[in-house]
């Protein structure tokens, strides 16, 4: 084997045009049998493997594909199933697997939360009352399948035990070692079986090592990997980290593994190698191509970086790979026929990134002179992209440079302005509302497609949108909601929609990435300076408000979320781009307020998502995020009420920042964490108004009224009734009309009963 080889850490699961999504949803809707689902997803998986082999990747990953989530797959492999799903041992069937992820009529789904600082969500393992067992060696299954059917000697991927357990719940922190010991024999058995099957390389993912773990945990992790090495000494283990540099570098490079994967895109991995060196007995797996963004790499610069890394590695053994799994980027830019050619030239999706890796590998193997043509083509395309006319806007740059502290402050403190808001809005105790979006039916999606294709006119499309707004305003009034929404039927996605309206953005046709389950999003591209063009939401908001005497919320996505859920070019500081977006939204908010909208919701579900893994960097990020949100929202009048919505489970860590946003009302996605977030309010005094999601919208099950009452009552033990709002825990875009109406009716009935109880008590 040559000393320099190429590798991939994971490939997008969804297919070029989301074939994976359609297969899953077809199965859930009973349009496909289990056999048909597996046949269709097998075909996607095989195509993914073949493509990587065709491109020329030496170490093709196997076991990275999933029917829902790779963390859930690990739980299924170890028999980690919560009691409420009535699992009685053995291999977990599809019904139970999807029940854990989506819930059933009688059992709530397991918690869904962010995968580190990405927009991917994983199913949180629940370890309470669980005796783990190896139900099926999935990495071995996928390895054999790739070898026998495709002739690929793949690299099995395993989620490491430290990361898996640190992402789990159902045990006390001081019991970590004991829980770990219950899983080690299962990992050992799994690895021994891989060794017996003739597997060469195994990738064990431990991204948790990029966080601030204690030295005690690092020592425990080293002991674990010693056990792995002793049990399967012939296996070549890659201890794979990503998303940041590893915090305890000196200790971790001494782990008894054959290779260590480091991220050279994010963090300070190169500086660590220069300062502390790299072991002569290990291969360096260098994450050189950004696995989380879509912009073409500067291959000249990457070649120079690789040469620097190569010189720092004494044994000259290097694996060249992406900085992380490519599940965070779309499959290929080949399908993008509508994009501006200069912008397209600047893009690199999964397949193109693998091409870049193969080119860089060849250059390091055989010399830079052997890739001269590839470097010349890369330089030309980058030059065309960088000199594109829509990239630079000096006016908005100067506007951002002139900003100060006072540009991000409300004119009155919350305690004074909330009184004026109550006088204007006249809402009841425990006001009810939804988060914003309402069901995007197949008819809505088809009609939007017809409009985009030009088969219906702009006027016909607008009439259709208005008909849906009218229908749902009447439904909301009939159900009895206190604060209504227009439903966002005109929006494809809460970020992409604004990407289509703001200067400096581009949108793709097929640039989909998985967010959770079958839910895929299409992040817009931020390739230039961002600026306001024309009103984006005013027309629909005014129309909705004209249909009712109840307040209708204006609905916007906040600057931090737009930034974090877009593919942002990295030649301008992210904080600068964030403030550009905030200034554009500030103008939109002013237009809504001038049009008579009294409540404006600026959603920030991704605020925590961008939080650096290294705690030393977190304060600077949060300070910038708070400033941008306040910059967008602070110019409104005192009586205009600002709402925001967020998705968090680890609320405590960013409590001060959320308070610092100075929003009048926040709503937080909490139902899957079973009210655990409430502990943050037991330890802090939160003075503003708040809605903790009282039922889970990610599951198709319609909650029972008493279940919702229980969630409300639990929150009211800590949060004063006068501050509490009642709402679902997220938008209702993905739910059917029947599910939405049924769940909202249950929520309203629960709210009314609690309200009556509270009013009676107060008398």
The answer to whether residue 390 scores a pLDDT higher than 70 is no
- What are the domain boundaries of the chain? 394-400+415-762
Q: Flag whether 519 is marked binding.
A: yes
Provide mean pLDDT across the span 173-182: 96
- Specify whether the CB–CB gap between 660 and 618 falls below 8 A: no
- Report which listed range, 531-540, 602-611, 713-722, is most confident: 531-540
CA-nearest of 718, 702, 677 to 111 is: 677
pLDDT tens-digit readout, 4-26: 999 999 999 999 999 999 999 99
437 is in an annotated binding site: yes
Dihedral Cα 68, 72, 73, 78, nearest 10 deg: -160
For the chain, give the mean pLDDT. Answer: 94
Please identify every residue annotated as catalytic.
698
435 is in an annotated binding site: yes
- The model carries a pTM of 0.90
pLDDT of residue 671: 62
Does residue 701 sit in helix, strand or coil?
A: coil
Q: Name which of 350, 378, 314, 263 is nearest 48 in CA terms.
A: 350
Say what the pLDDT of residue 695 is: 86
The predicted pLDDT at position 12 comes to 98
Reply yes or no on whether the pLDDT at 93 is more than 50.
yes
Instruction: Name the residue among 429, 436, 477 with its Cα closest to residue 752.
Output: 429
Q: Are 727 and 431 in contact (CB under 8 A)?
A: no
| 645 is an annotated ligand-binding site residue | yes
669 carries a ligand binding annotation = yes
Is 20 known as a binding-site position?
yes
Distance from CA of residue 584 to its chain's centroid? 24
Q: What is the pLDDT of residues 31-60, one digit of tens each?
A: 999 999 999 999 999 999 999 999 999 999
Per the CB < 8 A criterion, the answer to whether 690 and 727 are in contact is no
Confidence at residue 715, expressed as pLDDT on a 0 to 100 scale: 86
pLDDT value, residue 250: 96
Q: Which of 601, 598, 615, 494 is nearest to 542 (CA)?
A: 598
Burial class (CB in 10 A: 0-12, 13-18, 19+), 538: middle
552-595 pLDDT, tens digit each: 999 999 999 999 999 999 888 999 999 999 999 999 999 999 99
Confidence of residue 649 (pLDDT cuts 50, 70, 90): low
Confidence of residue 136 (pLDDT cuts 50, 70, 90): very high
3-state helix/strand/coil string of 75-138: HHHCCCCCHHHCCCCCCCCHHHHHHHHHCCCCCCCCCEEECCCCCCEEECCECCCCCCCCCCCH
488 annotated as a binding-site residue: yes
Confirm whether residue 643 is marked as ligand binding.
no
SS3 659: helix
Give long-range contacts, CB 8 A cutoff, 24+ apart: 458-466. 465/489, 465/490, 465/540, 466/543
Q: What is the pLDDT of residues 660-675, one digit of tens each?
A: 999 999 998 876 554 5
- Cα gap 438→344, rounded to integer Å: 33
Residue 246 in marked binding region: no
Q: Tell me the pLDDT band of 463, cut-offs 50, 70 and 90.
A: very high
Q: What is the pLDDT of residues 466-505, one digit of tens each?
A: 999 999 999 999 999 999 999 999 998 899 999 999 999 9
| Of the options 3.40.50.150, 3.20.20.210, 3.40.50.2000, 2.40.50.140, the CATH number for the domain spanning 394-400+415-762 | 3.20.20.210
Which tokens belong to 298? 């500067």
- 102-134 confidence digits (pLDDT tens): 999 889 899 988 899 998 999 999 999 999 999
* Confidence class for position 394, pLDDT limits 50, 70, 90: confident
Cα dihedral value 127, 131, 132, 134, nearest 10: -150
Which H or E run contains 204? strand 201-205
State the Cα–Cα distance between residues 353 and 740, nearest whole angstrom: 41
Q: How far apart are CA 235 and CA 191, in angstroms?
A: 8
CA distances from 650 to 100, 140, 666, 669 (A): 21, 34, 16, 11
Give the pLDDT confidence of 676-698 residue by residue, as tens digits: 667 777 777 789 999 988 888 87
Q: What pLDDT does residue 79 have?
A: 97
609 is in an annotated binding site: yes
Burial-class residue 94 by CB neighbours within 10 Å (0-12, 13-18, 19+): middle
Please give the share of the chain, as a percent, with pLDDT higher than 90.
Answer: 84
647 is in an annotated binding site: yes
For 38-52, 350-364, 614-628, 648-662, which range has the lowest pLDDT when averaged over its residues? 648-662
Calculate what percentage of the chain has a pLDDT beyond 70. Answer: 98
pLDDT of residue 763: 58
């Amino acid at each position: 084997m040559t000393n320099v080889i190429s590798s991939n850490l994971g490939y997008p699961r969804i297919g070029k045009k989301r074939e994976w999504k359609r297969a899953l949803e077809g199965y859930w809707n009973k349009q496909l049998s289990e056999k048909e689902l597996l046949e269709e997803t097998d075909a996607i998986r095989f195509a993914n493997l073949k493509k990587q082999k065709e491109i020329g990747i030496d170490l093709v990953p196997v076991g990275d594909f999933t029917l829902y989530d790779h963390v859930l797959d690990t739980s299924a492999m170890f028999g980690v199933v919560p009691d409420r799903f009535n699992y009685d041992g053995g291999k977990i069937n599809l019904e139970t697997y999807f029940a854990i992820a989506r819930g059933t009529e009688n059992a709530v789904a397991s918690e869904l939360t962010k995968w580190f600082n990405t927009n991917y969500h994983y199913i949180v393992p629940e370890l309470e009352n669980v005796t783990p067992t190896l139900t099926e060696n999935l990495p071995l299954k996928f390895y054999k399948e790739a070898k026998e059917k495709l002739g690929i000697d793949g690299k099995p991927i395993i989620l490491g035990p430290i990361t898996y357990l640190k992402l789990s719940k159902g045990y006390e922190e001081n019991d970590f070692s004991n829980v770990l010991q219950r899983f080690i024999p299962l990992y050992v058995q799994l690895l021994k079986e891989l060794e017996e099957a003739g597997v060469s390389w195994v990738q064990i993912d431990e991204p948790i090592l990029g966080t601030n773990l204690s030295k005690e945990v690092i020592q425990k992790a080293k002991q674990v990997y010693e056990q792995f090495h002793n049990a399967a000494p012939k296996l070549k283990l890659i201890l794979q980290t990503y998303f940041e540099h590893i915090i305890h570098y000196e200790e971790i490079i001494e782990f008894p593994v054959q290779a260590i994967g480091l991220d050279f895109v994010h963090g300070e991995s190169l500086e660590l190698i220069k300062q502390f060196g790299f072991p002569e007995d290990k291969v360096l797996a260098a994450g050189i191509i950004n696995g989380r963004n879509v912009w073409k790499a500067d291959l000249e610069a990457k070649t120079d970086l690789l040469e620097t890394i190569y010189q720092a590695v004494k044994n000259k053994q290097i694996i060249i790979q992406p900085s992380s799994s490519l599940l965070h980027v779309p499959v290929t830019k080949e399908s993008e026929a509508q994009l501006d050619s200069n912008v397209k030239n600047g893009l690199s999706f999964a397949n193109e990134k693998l091409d870049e890796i193969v080119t860089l590998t060849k250059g390091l193997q055989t010399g830079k002179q052997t890739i001269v043509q590839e470097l010349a083509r890369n330089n030309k395309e980058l030059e065309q992209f960088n000199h594109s006319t829509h990239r630079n806007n000096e006016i908005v740059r100067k506007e951002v440079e002139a900003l100060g502290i006072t540009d991000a402050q409300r004119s009155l403190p919350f305690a004074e302005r909330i009184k004026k808001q109550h006088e204007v809005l006249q809402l009841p105790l425990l006001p009810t509302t939804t988060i914003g979006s309402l069901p995007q039916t197949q008819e809505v999606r088809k009609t939007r497609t017809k409009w985009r294709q030009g088969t219906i006119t702009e006027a016909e499309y607008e009439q259709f949108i208005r008909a849906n707004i009218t229908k749902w305003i009447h439904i909301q009034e009939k159900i009895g909601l206190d604060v209504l929404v227009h439903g966002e039927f005109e929006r494809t996605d809460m970020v992409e929609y604004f990407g289509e309206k703001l200067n400096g953005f581009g949108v793709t046709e097929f640039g989909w990435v998985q967010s959770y389950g079958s839910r895929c999003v299409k992040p817009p591209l931020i390739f230039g300076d961002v600026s306001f063009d024309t009103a984006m939401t005013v027309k629909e908001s005014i129309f909705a408000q004209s249909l009712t005497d109840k307040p209708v919320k204006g609905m916007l996505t906040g600057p931090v979320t737009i930034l974090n859920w877009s593919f942002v070019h990295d030649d301008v500081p992210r904080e600068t781009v964030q403030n550009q977006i905030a200034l554009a939204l500030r103008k939109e908010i002013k237009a809504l307020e001038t049009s008579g909208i009294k409540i404006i919701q600026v959603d920030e579900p991704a605020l925590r998502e961008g939080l650096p893994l290294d705690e030393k960097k977190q304060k600077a990020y949060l300070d910038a995020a708070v400033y941008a949100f306040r910059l967008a929202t602070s110019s409104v009048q005192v009586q205009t009420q600002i709402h925001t919505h967020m998705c968090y489970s680890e609320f405590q860590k960013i409590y001060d920042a959320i308070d610092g946003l100075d929003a009048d009302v926040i709503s937080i996605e909490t139902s899957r964490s079973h009210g655990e977030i409430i502990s943050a309010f037991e330890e802090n005094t939160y003075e503003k108004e708040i809605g903790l999601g009282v039922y889970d919208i990610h599951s198709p099950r319609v909650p029972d009224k008493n279940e919702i009452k229980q969630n409300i009552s639990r929150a009211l033990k800590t949060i004063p009734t006068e501050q509490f709002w009642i709402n679902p825990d997220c938008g209702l875009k993905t739910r059917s009309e029947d599910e939405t109406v049924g769940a909202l009716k249950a929520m309203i009935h629960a709210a009314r009963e609690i309200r009556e109880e509270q009013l009676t008590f107060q008398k």
